[in-house]
Amino acid sequence: MKRLEEKIKSCRKCPLGQLRTNAVPGSGSYDAGIMFVGEAPGYWEDQKGLPFVGRAGRILDELLKEIGLKREDVYITNIVKCRPPGNRDPSEEEIRACSPYLDMQIDIIRPRIIVPLGRHSMGYILRKFGFEPEPISRIHGKVFEAGTLFGRILIVPVYHPAVALYKPALKEELRRDFRNIRALLGV
């Protein structure tokens, strides 16, 4: 994983590599049973080189704490490893350029559960494992089961934690989905 992280930090496969302050490979346990996959780094992530360290990261930390987990217990990453200008959504070209890194991270960590955070990561992860994505409002919290070379994996798409900043009413939906994740972990 360390070699892969160094490769990500020196990547220039798309224009974002020229614009970033820091690439953001991911952080957490390389033996994690659960992997959270966001969409792309924001301003603070770009500054610090770590995923989910801004306002949405504080919400993620709170949700993890509520189900008895810490960042050190899980692995957190994004599909796109460099910040898109203005925190815009990642483009298909950027996702195509970066997704092989995410695929390698999944192969190295071999999580039992992958939690896509938001619609872009949900779309990529579900397609990767042979599912057809639907609107996240319809399938958040739903469990998808896929077979991999390293065994069975569960995929549980949830809203991106930033949704709680812009639509506070959805924070309870996030909490409910995280409680379901805890049940799947047997915690």
Question: What domain range includes position 51?
Answer: 2-185
CATH of residue 20's domain is 3.40.470.10
Whose structure tokens read 């695929």?
103
Which of the four pLDDT bands, split at 50, 70 and 90, describes residue 4? very high
Backbone angles phi, psi at 113, to 5 degrees: -135, 135
Mean pLDDT of 81-93: 93
pLDDT at position 16 is 93
Query: Closest by alpha carbon to 175, among 68, 55, 63, 60?
Result: 63
What percentage of the chain carries pLDDT values higher than 90?
91
pLDDT at position 149 is 83
Alpha carbons within 13 A on the beta-carbon side of 27? 14
Mean pLDDT across the chain: 94
d(CA 178, CA 39): 18
What percentage of the chain carries pLDDT values higher than 70?
99
Distance of CA 16 to the CA centre of its chain: 18
Mean pLDDT of 47-58: 95
pLDDT at position 108 is 96
Beta strands in the chain (DSSP E): 27-28, 34-38, 75-78, 113-116, 144-148, 151-155
> Is 90 exceeded by the pLDDT of residue 87?
no
d(CA 144, CA 141): 10
**What is the per-residue pLDDT across 147-175, written as a single tens digit (0 to 9) for each?**
988 889 999 999 999 999 999 899 999 99
Mean pLDDT of 117-142: 95
Which of the four pLDDT bands, split at 50, 70 and 90, describes residue 39? very high
Which residues lie closer than 8 Å to 120 by C-beta, 6 or more apart? 39, 40, 79, 89, 90, 95
The CA-atom distances, in angstroms, between 95 and each of 13, 57, 125, 168 are: 11, 21, 11, 28
Which residues lie closer than 8 Å to 11 by C-beta, 6 or more apart? 17, 23, 81, 82, 98, 101
The sign of the torsion formed by the CA atoms of 134, 136, 139, 144 equals positive
Mean pLDDT of 55-65: 96
Mean pLDDT of 67-83: 96
> Is 70 exceeded by the pLDDT of residue 57?
yes
> Is 80 exceeded by the pLDDT of residue 187?
no
The count of structural domains within the chain is 1
Contact 153, 114 (CB under 8 A): yes
Global confidence as pTM: 0.95
d(CA 117, CA 67): 16
